């Protein structure tokens, strides 16, 4: 492995990280963005939970089933995909797919999950549009990223925000850092060389979404190779990258 002295990236520092919460808009978002890292973290004994804002019911191209049925399919696919990388704790919020807003209601719902899971680290989608990777900037992704960041700071840690959560028994919780997926100014890398096959296996669980699974695998492996190069790792390594934000 290279010492990545000339790289802007540092390798993820996981000391003291016991619990991680991943917040994403749709089923399969987490697997494209972070499944290799998640497998690496669960292998290290870190507890990882998922929070899915929608059921992804507006996804896919099958017009022979109802949107409610598609949502049920995608919940099952995400649950199966999570199991491939060692995750069994999933929270589905069932907000409408394609109509996600960074509303106070979504901030409250995400704050509730944060207070329940008590993560040290929260992975979110970028709330900033990336003009070079437009597919990463679905409006639901942007709204989910914005609401998740607001839930981390200030909502989940503020006892006076969403007072109904205290009535429900959820005490304030402050996550110490956020990792942002698909951000153009990423600064932190995770070596996923030993987990890349499990990332692919997780993605393949989303059968309702992939007309050409082989193309998906080829693209994901190339992205992981390119990320490793950016992080200053040797040619045979593979990586995922994030923007780390200190929220302690």
The CATH number that applies at residue 123 is 3.40.50.10320
The residue that leads in pLDDT, 212 or 222, is 222
Give the distance from CA 185 to its chain's centroid: 17
Q: Give 164-200 pLDDT, tens digit per residue.
A: 999 999 999 999 999 999 998 999 999 999 999 999 9
Q: Give 79-125 pLDDT, tens digit per residue.
A: 999 999 999 999 999 999 999 999 999 999 999 999 999 999 999 99
Residue span of the structural domain in which 19 resides: 10-246
Does 235 reside within a domain? yes
Eight-class DSSP state of 16: T
Does 3 reside within a domain? no
Tokens of 147: 């609401």
Query: So what's the pLDDT on residue 60?
Result: 79
Say how far apart CA 207 and CA 209 lie, in whole Å: 5
The sign one gets for the Cα dihedral 24, 40, 176, 117 is: positive
Domain count of the fold of the chain: 1
Query: So what's the pLDDT on residue 59?
Result: 87
Does 83 reside within a domain? yes
**Contact yes or no for 32/132 (Cβ under 8 A):** no
Does 84 reside within a domain? yes
Label residue 61 by pLDDT band (50, 70, 90).
confident
Does 1 reside within a domain? no
Does 132 reside within a domain? yes
Does 16 reside within a domain? yes
**Contact yes or no for 154/161 (Cβ under 8 A):** yes
Quickly tell me which residue has 């949502």 as its tokens.
71
Does 65 reside within a domain? yes
């Amino acid at each position: 492995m290279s010492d990545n002295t000339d790289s802007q990236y540092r390798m993820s520092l996981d000391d003291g990280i016991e619990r991680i919460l991943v917040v994403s808009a749709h089923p399969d978002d987490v697997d494209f963005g972070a499944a290799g890292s998640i497998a690496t973290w669960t292998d290290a004994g870190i507890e990882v939970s998922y929070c899915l804002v929608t059921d992804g019911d507006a996804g896919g191209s099958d017009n022979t089933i109802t949107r409610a049925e598609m949502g049920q399919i995608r919940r099952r696919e995400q649950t199966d995909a999570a199991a491939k990388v060692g995750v069994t704790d999933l929270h589905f919020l069932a907000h409408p797919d394609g109509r996600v807003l960074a509303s106070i209601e979504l901030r409250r719902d995400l704050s509730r999950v944060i207070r329940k899971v008590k993560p040290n680290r929260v992975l979110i989608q970028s709330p900033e549009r990336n003009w070079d990777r437009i597919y990463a900037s679905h409006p639901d992704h942007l709204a989910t990223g914005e609401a998740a960041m607001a839930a981390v700071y200030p909502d989940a840690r503020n006892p006076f925000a969403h007072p109904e959560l205290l009535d429900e028994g959820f005490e304030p919780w402050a996550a110490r850092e956020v990792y942002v997926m698909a951000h153009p100014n990423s600064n932190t890398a995770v070596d996923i060389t030993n987990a890349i096959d499990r990332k692919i296996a997780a993605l393949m669980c989303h059968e309702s979404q992939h007309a050409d699974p082989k193309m998906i695998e080829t693209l994901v492996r190339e992205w992981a190779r390119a990320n490793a190069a950016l992080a200053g790792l040797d040619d045979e390594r593979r990586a995922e990258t994030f923007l780390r934000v200190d929220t302690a």
